[in-house]
């Protein structure tokens, strides 16, 4: 099991796109890195691994404190982060800086950094989590949980593109987003930052927004947080997590060769919060000797820098390990073009907050389906709120319950006492207009639930894809308020003519095509997300899941229209990872029956041999002759 000192350390891992057109090949990047680093001193190496927050770099009049910046720059600090006034309250009649003001601030730091650091540029990063939302003049998008509910990766790509452009306009090429944690406990106060509970949905939406963020070839997206961060057993943020080594081998098994940065002040927290190191210096030593982190998000001091310099004096052999980290940092700066243009994005300043962006953000929020970030111990809404709504409904008035919430709350019997429920989650500044359009019937909603919405406090940590052996507080059926994938529309869709191309698969190179016809049987046009789930009723390597989402497609149909949707399943879809720790993650496909289901609510009743056939279920058998061990699938 993972050593306890590391279990709460939160990392962000940089995702670098494969850039196209006019840029150097991989070996040329390496040659350029070698050239730049040829004469790096210990101070150069350690400085490149240090990141300092912007909060301490302004003076009492909220201007750049050049003396403070120069103090860090003399240590060759390679990175800075965050707008310094994003949480400072009202300043001279404004609640923050404009994009142009932030650009001036970042440019001032860059100028001093390059003066003190032999011309090497620093890289600035910020949490542009739903648009460049830490300045005042950009368009804000809804949170990631809203994006997941759209089941539309094209919209997420566009959000990523606009976010990157607006962040570049501020001179910032590094975006600390997307959040790729899967929601594990709905009590967690950061549920709204995720794409929900399903790993496949998260991977599709995450890939789409990263492609958008990196579409200008000037921005780097940063996947966060470290794999274990959201797996809090209590639901409290930054809580202790116990997790196996199998889930954490980023470099070797997951083959990640990008850059990795700690979360805010986490190395120092090994001493001050987690109490696994007797000093900040010891925490630094642990982090550098036991992990492959490339940069410490130190916050506001040089504790990491000084501790690492001291460690180099004590153990000079660690220089090569540190050098590998700095190679990844310098390569990132080269790929982003910072050595040629240290302040990219000036040409985008006039595009910030334009009407097309406003329209895109509004369209994004119209796909709603039917708080502050802090810990709570109970998901139940306050009794007074519940009774108030029920009293209103008792008058005979048609009450529509609109939920704006960062995580699900237990509603008790409210859904049975109101006319409709509209879940707006955290839709941001255009969410109100989108909700009004839906309520008045101007827009037909098409969002789907990206999480399992709990119905009672005893079953809050049971996702739709739970293991078949999971026991529930209310018996063997874990009844949620709304299941993953649930959503209503002002029209109806019917499914028919499901077919499967084969019922017997004999090779891992074979594929299975599943088709179904979807008809808009209502009176208005609408959009439907067609979902395919897969179940392996019996699995020798591990307890199987009830079902798992494997494919989805969002279609638009006029009233009365039909469309046939076809999905292709391959070995990657019916395989699972075989936990050979330290030898690379390998997919294994067991010889067994596999059951396909169309639609979230479809129950194929796989353990009932006398059950009537469901027209939206189909079975195929994998027969490679290698049961019970299965066949390893090529990586």
Q: What is the DSSP string of 277-309?
A: SSSHHHHHHHHHHH----BEEEESSSHHHHHHH
Burial status of residue 225 (CB atoms within 10 A of its CB: 0-12, 13-18, 19 or more): buried
Cα separation, 333 vs 590, in Å, equals 44
pLDDT of residue 460: 86
Q: Which of 373, 371, 375 is nearest to 234 (CA)?
A: 375
Largest CA distance in the chain: 79
Instruction: List the chain residues with pLDDT less than 50.
Output: 1-23, 368-372, 634-635
Tokens encoding 240: 């202790």
**Residue (of 149, 145, 144) closest to 447 by Cα position:** 149
Query: What is d(CA 573, CA 400) in angstroms, rounded to the nearest whole number?
Result: 40
Angle between helices 153-169 and 99-116 (to 10 degrees): 60
Q: What pLDDT does 158 receive?
A: 95
Four-CA torsion 55, 57, 59, 63, nearest 10 degrees: -100
- Reduce the secondary structure of 85-106 to three states and give it as a string: CCCCCCECCECCCCHHHHHHHH
CA distance 126 to 261: 13
- Asked, as a colleague might, if the bond just before 209 is cis with ω within 30 of 0, I would say no
Place of tokens 């240090």: 50
Looking at residue 622, what is its pLDDT?
94
CB 525 within 8 A of CB 556: yes
Q: What is the C-alpha separation between 125 and 80, in angstroms, rounded? A: 6
- Per DSSP bridges, beta strands 123-126 and 79-81 are parallel
Q: Which of 455, 465, 447 is nearest to 414 (CA)?
A: 455
The count of other CB atoms within 10 Å of the CB of residue 265 is 20
- Residue 254 has a pLDDT of 75
The reply to whether omega before 225 is within 30° of 0 (cis) is: yes
**Percent helix / strand / coil, the chain, rounded to 5:** 30, 20, 50
């Amino acid at each position: 099991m993972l050593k306890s000192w590391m279990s709460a350390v939160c990392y962000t891992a940089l995702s670098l796109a494969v850039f196209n057109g006019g840029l150097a090949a991989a070996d040329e990047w390496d040659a350029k890195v070698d050239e730049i680093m040829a004469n790096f001193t210990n101070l150069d190496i350690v400085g490149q691994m240090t990141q300092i927050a912007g909060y301490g770099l302004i003076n009492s009049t909220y201007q750049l404190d050049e003396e403070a910046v120069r103090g860090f720059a003399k240590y060759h600090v390679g990175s800075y982060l965050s707008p310094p006034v994003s949480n400072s309250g009202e300043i001279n009649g404004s609640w923050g800086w404009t994009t142009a003001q932030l650009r001036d601030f970042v440019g001032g730091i860059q100028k001093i950094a390059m003066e003190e650091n032999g011309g090497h540029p620093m890289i600035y990063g910020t949490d542009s989590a739903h648009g460049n939302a830490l300045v005042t003049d950009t368009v804000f998008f809804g949170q990631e949980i809203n994006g997941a509910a759209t089941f539309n990766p094209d919209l997420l790509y566009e959000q990523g593109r606009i976010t990157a452009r607006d962040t570049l306009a501020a001179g910032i090429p590094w975006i600390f987003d997307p959040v790729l944690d899967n929601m594990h406990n709905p009590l967690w106060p950061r549920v709204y930052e995720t794409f929900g509970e399903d790993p496949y949905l998260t991977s599709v939406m995450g890939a789409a927004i990263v492609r958008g963020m990196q579409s200008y070839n000037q921005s780097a997206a940063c996947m966060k947080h470290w794999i274990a961060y959201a797996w809090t057993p209590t639901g409290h943020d930054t809580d202790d997590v116990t997790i196996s080594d199998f889930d954490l081998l980023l470099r070797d098994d997951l083959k990640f060769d990008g850059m990795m940065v700690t979360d805010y002040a986490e190395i120092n927290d090994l001493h001050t919060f987690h109490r696994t190191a007797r000093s900040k210096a010891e925490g630094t030593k642990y982090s550098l000797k036991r992990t492959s982190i490339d940069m410490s998000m130190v916050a506001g001091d040089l504790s990491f820098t000084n501790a690492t310099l001291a460690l180099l004096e004590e153990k000079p052999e660690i220089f090569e390990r540190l050098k590998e980290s700095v190679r990844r940092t310098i390569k990132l700066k080269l790929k982003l073009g910072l050595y040629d243009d240290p302040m990219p994005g000036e040409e985008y300043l006039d595009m910030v907050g334009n009407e097309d962006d406003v329209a895109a953000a509004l369209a994004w929020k119209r796909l709603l389906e039917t708080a502050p970030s802090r810990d709570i111990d109970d998901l139940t809404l306050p009794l007074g709120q519940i009774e108030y709504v029920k009293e209103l409904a008792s008058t005979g008035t048609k009450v529509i319950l609109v939920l704006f919430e960062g995580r699900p709350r237990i509603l008790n019997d409210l859904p049975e006492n109101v006319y409709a429920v509209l879940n707006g989650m955290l839709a941001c500044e255009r969410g109100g207009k989108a909700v009004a359009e839906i309520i008045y019937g101007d827009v037909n909603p098409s969002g789907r639930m990206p999480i399992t919405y709990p119905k009672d406090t005893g079953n809050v940590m049971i996702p739709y894809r739970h293991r078949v052996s999971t026991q529930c507080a209310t018996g063997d059926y874990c009844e949620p308020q709304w299941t993953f994938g649930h959503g209503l529309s002002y029209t109806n869709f019917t499914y028919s003519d499901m077919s499967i191309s084969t019922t017997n698969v004999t090779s891992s190179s074979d594929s299975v095509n599943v088709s179904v016809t979807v008809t808009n049987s209502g009176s208005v046009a609408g959009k439907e997300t067609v979902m395919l789930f897969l179940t392996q009723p019996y699995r020798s390597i591990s307890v199987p899941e009830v079902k798992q989402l494997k494919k989805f497609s969002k279609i638009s149909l006029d009233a009365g229209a039909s469309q046939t949707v076809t999905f292709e399943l391959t070995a990657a879809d019916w395989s699972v990872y075989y936990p050979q720790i330290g030898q690379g993650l390998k997919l294994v496909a067991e010889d067994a029956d596999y059951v396909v289901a169309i639609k979230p609510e479809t129950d194929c009743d796989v353990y009932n041999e006398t059950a009537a056939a469901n027209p939206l279920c189909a079975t195929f058998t994998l027969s490679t002759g290698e049961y019970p061990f299965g066949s390893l699938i090529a990586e």
